[in-house]
Amino acid sequence: MNKATSNHRLRQIVLILLFLGFTLLVVSRFTNFSNLVQTLSQGRWPWVLAGVLIHVIYFVFYAVLYQRGFATVEVNTRTTLLIPVMFATMFVNAVVPTAGVAGNALFINHIVKRDQSGARGVVGLFLVLLADLGTLVPFLLFGLAQLQKLGDLNAYATLSGAAYVIYIAILIGALVLSAKSPLLLHSILAELRKVVNRIGSLFKRPDLLDGTWASRNTTDLRLGANAIRKHPKQLTLTILWGVFLHIVNLVGLYAFFMAFDQPIGLGGLVAGFSLGIVFFIITVIPQGIGAAEGIMALVYTSIGVPATKAITIALVFRGVNYWLPVLVGLIAMRKAAASPEMAD
């Protein structure tokens, strides 16, 4: 193992330890370690296993979402081939925090090796992102409305929800603008690149976005807009599948509430679930580590769930929904490295 590989692995280990340390810090705000262990030991394991099984189904269905997104831009691939790539992407995004860029490269590599268009693959990934994050908005609004009804809607929930909706609106707006006025979109992205690089220069990173970033993204978005016009039915199916995925994910979370004998109303369940995803996306902490668990526990305690149960359920859910897939991704990466034919 050369020095570069050794340093890379050391950075990965340090990053994971920081993630775990931050998570433990969040946990300490809600309960102590002995209470957490005691609550975990009292869980009803048939319900825990049911929650795990539901999430296995969820991730298979998530690979279907990728397949549908790629099909919208005329990239043909099979769900079974996308499953290991999806898990490997989750692992890469966890240990190489680059806003998903490093992980998405695995999908593009997978597509190009099958003589498919890499540019269309990029657009397909953008559509999957929109289908996944955009379809959360109705769940988020429903959850916030329920918190308002219960008198538990706080500033952090309102502001984070508003920021998330604005983020989705910007993504959709960029897609629409790419079709209506690509030159204007290119100008906006070029100015945005300058601002980002000025900020990066303060941290000795003046080239965070390269010189082709604006034109490249404008082209990709135009391809996406054209694909939507050509395949509206495929796009509709992709969006409906995104809604269905959130429902499956919610059912998995509900199973964990049952595992710890904790009743929960639909409004409260959806509020904690949706805000957990919001903090996963909008926080500066890579992959929302600690922040997602913390906000979920905070929401659930605000509606009457005991603090220890709230953080336990949040940790179990995130463990199955995030950490376990990351571990599977590590295994997928190692198998691909050991067997080059798996990457072909």
pLDDT of residue 5: 52
pLDDT of residue 94: 78
pLDDT of residue 342: 46
pLDDT surpasses 80 at 177 = yes
Which candidate, 157, 163, 180, 145, places its Cα nearest to that of 265?
Answer: 145
Query: How many other CB atoms sit within 10 Å of the CB of residue 213?
Result: 17
Domain hosting 217: range is 3-343
| Higher pLDDT among residues 45 and 18, named by residue | 45
Q: Write down the residue that tokens 């629409």 correspond to.
A: 176
pLDDT of residue 151: 84
Query: How many other CB atoms sit within 10 Å of the CB of residue 11?
Result: 12
Q: What is the Cα 102 distance to its own chain's centre?
A: 14
Say what the pTM is: 0.86
Mean pLDDT for all residues in the chain: 84
pLDDT above 90 covers a percentage of the chain that reads 38
Q: Write down the residue that tokens 């336990």 correspond to.
A: 312
pLDDT tens digits for 131-176?
999 999 999 999 999 999 988 888 888 999 999 999 999 888 888 8
pLDDT tens digits for 226-241?
877 888 888 889 899 9
pLDDT above 70 covers a percentage of the chain that reads 85
Four-CA torsion 101, 230, 70, 65, nearest 10 degrees: 100
pLDDT surpasses 60 at 107 = yes
| Higher pLDDT among residues 202 and 17, named by residue | 202
Contact assessment for residue 209 and residue 196, using Cβ atoms and an 8 Å cutoff: yes
pLDDT of residue 344: 46
The residue type found at 136 is L
At 12, is the pLDDT very low, low, confident or very high (cuts 50, 70, 90)? low
* Range with lowest mean pLDDT among 24-33, 138-147, 311-320: 24-33
pLDDT of residue 316: 94
Total number of domains in the chain: 1
